[in-house]
Amino acid sequence: MSNLKSIKRKIVSIKNTRQITRAMKMVAGVKFKKNQAAMNAFRPYSETYDGVIKNISRNSVLYSHPFFKKNSGNSGSADSGGTGIIIISTDRGLCGSFNINLFKLFFEELKAQGLGSDRIKLYILGKKGTDFFKRHNYFVKFTANFSEGNVGTDLSKTLAMAISADFTRGEINEFYIVSNNYISTLHQRAAIEKILPLDSFDENKRSGGYLVEPVSYEDEIIDKVFKDYIQTKIYFKILESFAGEQASRMNAMDNATRNAGKLINKLTTIYNKARQAAVTLEILDIINGASAIE
């Protein structure tokens, strides 16, 4: 009888868990639709900005801008050189392998490029990424926690200003961004992309499509365009990460709910068999008792 009570308690506990995971799936679904809409609304602007930068970069007049120069890392400063990597993780867990894929790609790239941890400076968004890399003794130069409720252009602007300043001062040779690309509701792919230095111009091509007026403000305007581009790139990656995170969490909670249902069915079958065996034993005891009396 005690075994039956134990199985019944497990069934009740798993049913409660299933109720929670089902609710979490519904919440993630609502957030996913909101974040997907924000990502899709911003995507055309981001892609257009990419095209503008590619066109501008063909203009040989811009060769002197610091964003086109790869730093040598020989400025004499102990803090100079190295590679800066921006990692966009999450603040919360229960989203499947969303963060694990980022960390795995990070280590794969370090191995492929032969980079040691002493040459890496990390700029991390999300508590999960910060906690993970601090445990592994990486130098985290910039960190910020965020969520769908408080993120905006302010965070992307702050990070863009930080990496632009570090690159311009020669503290970082190049910057990469590691984040999850949103492919579909069921598929988010970890990817790495270089954002600084910008690709140098092709001397055989000219943009010819842009005029800066007044000419005396050309340097300031171009500098703002490039810095806004870095902010735009980071902001879109954040939006894309938000959508992917909720999609991944929605799928993870759906799988957890399904698995809980399967386990409940399995335990219910075991419970019914045990109960049937107990009833059979009681009937046998009654029959044996009646036979003994006769």
Q: What is the CATH number of the domain that holds 211?
A: 3.40.1380.10
> How far lies 231's CA from each of 93, 146, 157, in Å?
26, 16, 5
11 belongs to a structural domain:
no
277 belongs to a structural domain:
no
Alpha-carbon gap, residue 173 to 229, rounded angstroms:
19
282 belongs to a structural domain:
no
Per-residue pLDDT for the chain (294 aa), expressed as one digit of tens each?
Answer: 568 888 889 999 999 999 999 999 999 999 999 999 999 999 999 999 988 887 777 665 565 678 877 665 444 344 456 889 999 999 988 998 999 999 999 999 888 888 787 889 999 999 999 999 999 889 999 998 876 555 667 888 889 999 999 998 888 888 999 999 999 988 999 999 999 888 765 555 555 556 667 766 677 888 888 889 999 999 999 999 999 999 999 999 999 999 999 999 999 999 888 888 877 877 777 777 767 776
Residue 17 CB partners (closer than 8 Å, separation 6+): 256, 260
Instruction: Report pLDDT for 197.
Output: 87
Q: Kindly give the interhelix angle for 218-293 and 2-56, rounded to the nearest 10 degrees.
A: 170
3 belongs to a structural domain:
no
203 belongs to a structural domain:
yes
229 belongs to a structural domain:
yes
Instruction: Report pLDDT for 82.
Output: 84
pLDDT digits (tens, 9 = 90+) for 253-273: 999 999 999 999 999 999 888
Alpha-carbon gap, residue 94 to 100, rounded angstroms:
12
Report yes or no: 242 and 55 within 8 Å, Cβ to Cβ.
Answer: no
Beta strands 120-125 and 187-196, pairing class: unpaired
Alpha-carbon gap, residue 110 to 5, rounded angstroms:
53
Instruction: Report pLDDT for 74.
Output: 40
157 belongs to a structural domain:
yes
Question: Which token pair is 42?
Answer: 């911003």
Give the total number of structural domains in the chain: 1
Closest CA to 21 of 264, 262, 251, 256: 256
Q: Provide the residue range defining the domain that includes 212.
A: 19-253
Sheet with strand 83-88: strands edge to edge? 140-144, 120-125, 83-88, 174-184, 187-196
72 belongs to a structural domain:
yes
The one-character DSSP state at 92 is S
